[in-house]
């Protein structure tokens, strides 16, 4: 069994295990940590069940961009503008991001601190 305390190891294992997008998503559905994918424009394209549990909501295809949570804040409580979201920075800078801790706000108002780990990858078609 994989150690769920290491999200990078879980995601790397899922990436290594598959050659196509459908199989990749099936592998992500198995892992117990929140995981989602986005296109080059930051539109959310997929999320697993753990992601919904973490965010307190199901993302909306075609509407959610940069993040699956309702809002993001710094540890100091300042609202992060969308262009400063970790995913926005990863796409803009074309690199993986392992940022400091951020705070996600759920629709019910509860907040949870987390450490985003964004891994940049492309499918065979370059998406």
What angle in degrees, to the nearest 10, is found between the helix axes of 21-30 and 7-17?
150
Q: pLDDT digits over 88-121, tens only?
A: 888 888 887 776 789 999 999 999 999 887 766 5
pTM: 0.74
Instruction: Tell me the average pLDDT of the chain.
Output: 82
pLDDT digits (tens, 9 = 90+) for 51-84: 999 999 999 998 999 999 989 999 999 999 998 8
**7-118, CATH topology level:** Beta-Lactamase (3.30.450)
Break the chain into its structural domains and give their ranges: 7-118
């Amino acid at each position: 069994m994989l150690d769920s305390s290491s999200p990078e190891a879980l995601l790397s294992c899922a990436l290594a295990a598959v050659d196509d997008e459908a199989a990749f998503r099936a592998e992500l559905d198995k892992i117990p940590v929140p995981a989602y994918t986005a296109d080059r424009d930051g539109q959310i394209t997929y999320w697993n069940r753990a992601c919904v549990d973490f965010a307190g909501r199901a993302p909306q295809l075609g509407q959610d961009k940069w993040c699956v949570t309702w809002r993001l804040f710094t540890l100091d409580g300042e609202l992060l503008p969308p262009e400063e979201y970790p995913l926005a920075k990863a796409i803009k800078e074309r690199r993986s991001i392992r940022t400091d801790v951020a705070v996600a706000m759920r629709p019910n108002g509860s907040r949870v601190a987390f450490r985003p780990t964004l891994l940049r990858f492309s499918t065979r078609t370059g998406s």
